[in-house]
Structure 1
């Protein structure tokens, strides 16, 4: 376990390559990653010539690697990394990038994550996600992670007295946020009746409980705060953890539970100070678990906490989250970071909530039953 703090390193630019459910012919992973990089640099007022650090997370970049993509983008860098930890990759890369800037190993670091996700690619990735999946899960009569998270959701419902209506209010609230996000794939209004009437995927999960895979990518620019040409999102703390339960827990507590206290302590803020939150939302149950693990006010009463989210009194996943905006493969975690950065910089047109403190969580890499990676980043409007 490790953490980093800084009052001087910030995210000074962010960009997103447009998401799509059906990528056009000729679309490539390198293409969408490169597009997100260029958009983030333009947002920061910088060019590729300014970049001396580069980090990448992608499931479908192969056979190329981070160095290949850097070369294709015309980057000559002194710091390079490749993260394969899915929904936790954004926080992991951010942690290392902050350290690199603090140490002087790089001055401008671009982090990008995303994938080409057509049906064929998605099916193959689900079958061969890792050795445990290929050898033990794929042979079972179940499709991907839906059945695993259906069981986890049922366990959570029984433990905390939650109903499908509770999850539905969360999903409906995120769709309402998505309506003001032109980058969200699904923006059509959704009400609780629609949610409850949706076809069952794996009981108790319905269609709107399952994240839609999309093609796309997200990127951020990390540098000393003094490099910012305007408002930026100062990185106060990043805390990470891996293999906290050895895949032997019940899945209802994530690695965020051990990260959050450290992150808030290093940042010098409390959960009650948080103004906007992006949590990794592949399923509503994981939103609930991470909100509880963050220790936000009301976390000891989950039905009450979800009522706050449902009424949007607690701004959670204000982009619509992955459940409405879409999950661009390994870019899912970076999507939440980009949204909080936009909120703190006053760039979330139509859905701006204001405030000073933003929190982003990462959850990723289901090794067998549960996500093995977790992280928490605390950022401040500057």
Structure 2
């Protein structure tokens, strides 16, 4: 007998606060929990709420095995409802879905979703130890780059995708980053710059791969009836979807088809919208191939057409589809698990707060998180006040 599955009500909760912690290279001795707390306090201030109101904590980081326990202790919230689900960089889109359900069920009334990482200052090996895999580790792959390089190579083989097309993703991200005052990268980037950069894992150069920074942040969610009386215009959670197709890249069913196909379909159904309705797209771009794969799998173009779709500045400022408007993990920041920053940027776009990078008339945003090696996909669709 199949268990009943219910979906939280469309638009019944809203994000009312969003903020980054310090980014880039943070002060010495700051911990991931420090950055979570800093992001939470800033997001609560953005929402016009105090820490005393918080009774739901959702968090994840590779640097704290029991992050919810540590965060509850740090903030002095022993009775908070907690969730530290961790599925890599898409954890925070999953947290939004879980918080949506918890708020609707009355398990908490003010939920915060938080992240923190000091991977740049402590070094990647110290921040994220990789598990032994008997089928892969003996071959000494350079992970995660080698895994994503396999997907990129397969996409090139099957569909004729070119290096120049993948480079166009990095160039577009950099163009957006130049409009973002807190972005890490501040120099213009060309396709030639990407192609001629230091090789990492064929076909990638270092400019096809995300940054290594510190950072964190938080968002605040409440039920919609409370959100309407808040400090800022609410951003409603309209739909969510998740799909985990594998853990190891050698178990991925098809290197050119990700779980975003299913997670996106579920989110679209829940939200009652289509890809053509979306104004702002926030995709987890740890590698340039990600953006191409996700644009295909989320329905913005047909499978195999992603390379051609991103050419000619289509996803750059003044292009026809606004993708990764903060500069993405490729040029804005990437503290190991990037999914929370996608949500923060989408909220700011829907509130009209992004200055020179603002997308005119933005009312619907699609946020897509990716965890592991194209393993855990999670899609969230957010809407402005006119969408509910």
Same fold (TM over 0.5): yes
Structure 1 unaligned blocks of 5 or more:
none
Deviation at 1:216, TM superposition (A): 0.6
Write the deviation string for residues 305-343 of structure 1: whole angstroms up to 9, x where unpaired.
Answer: 21322563211111111111121123x011111111110
- Does structure 1 retain, via aligned residues, the 8 Å contact 2:32–2:115? no
* SS across alignment from 1:19: coil
- Does structure 2 retain, via aligned residues, the 8 Å contact 1:215–1:328? yes
Q: Corresponding residue for 1:158?
A: 157
| Larger CA deviation: 314-323 vs 135-144 | 135-144
Normalised to the residue count of structure 2, the TM-score between the two structures is 0.90
Write the deviation string for residues 230-275 of structure 1: whole angstroms up to 9, x where unpaired.
Answer: 2121000011122369924122111110121221122111110000
CA distance in 2, matches of 1:138, 1:269: 42
Write the deviation string for residues 73-102 of structure 1: whole angstroms up to 9, x where unpaired.
Answer: 123444111122111101110001001111
CA distance in 2, matches of 1:376, 1:365: 15
Map 1:54-133 to 2 at 5 A: 54-62=57-65, 64-118=66-120, 121-124=123-126, 128-132=129-133
| Larger CA deviation: 75-84 vs 336-345 | 75-84
Deviation at 1:215, TM superposition (A): 0.9
Name which of 46, 49, 62 aligns with 1:46. 49
Normalised to the residue count of structure 1, the TM-score between the two structures is 0.91
Which structure 1 residue ranges, 4+ long, deviate > 6 Å from structure 2? none
* SS across alignment from 1:87: coil
- Does structure 2 retain, via aligned residues, the 8 Å contact 1:3–1:262? no
CA distance in 2, matches of 1:53, 1:238: 19
CA distance in 2, matches of 1:119, 1:13: 28
Write the deviation string for residues 343-377 of structure 1: whole angstroms up to 9, x where unpaired.
Answer: 001121221003211000111123xxxx3211111
- Does structure 2 retain, via aligned residues, the 8 Å contact 1:173–1:312? no
Deviation at 1:49, TM superposition (A): 0.6
CA distance in 2, matches of 1:111, 1:245: 24
Q: Corresponding residue for 2:215?
A: 216
Name which of 247, 255, 260 aligns with 1:256. 260
CA distance in 2, matches of 1:193, 1:121: 29
* SS across alignment from 1:239: strand
Deviation at 1:141, TM superposition (A): 4.2
Structure 2 unaligned blocks of 5 or more:
none
Q: Corresponding residue for 1:270?
A: 274
The count of residues paired between Structure 1 and Structure 2 equals 372
Deviation at 1:114, TM superposition (A): 2.4
CA distance in 1, matches of 2:164, 2:213: 26
Relative to structure 1, is the Cα distance of residues 170 and 248 closer, same or farther in structure 2, using a 3 angstrom cutoff?
closer
Deviation at 1:152, TM superposition (A): 1.5
Name which of 331, 344, 356 aligns with 2:350. 344
The answer as to 2:322 corresponding to 1:323 is no
* SS across alignment from 2:22: strand
* SS across alignment from 2:346: helix
- Does structure 2 retain, via aligned residues, the 8 Å contact 1:15–1:338? yes
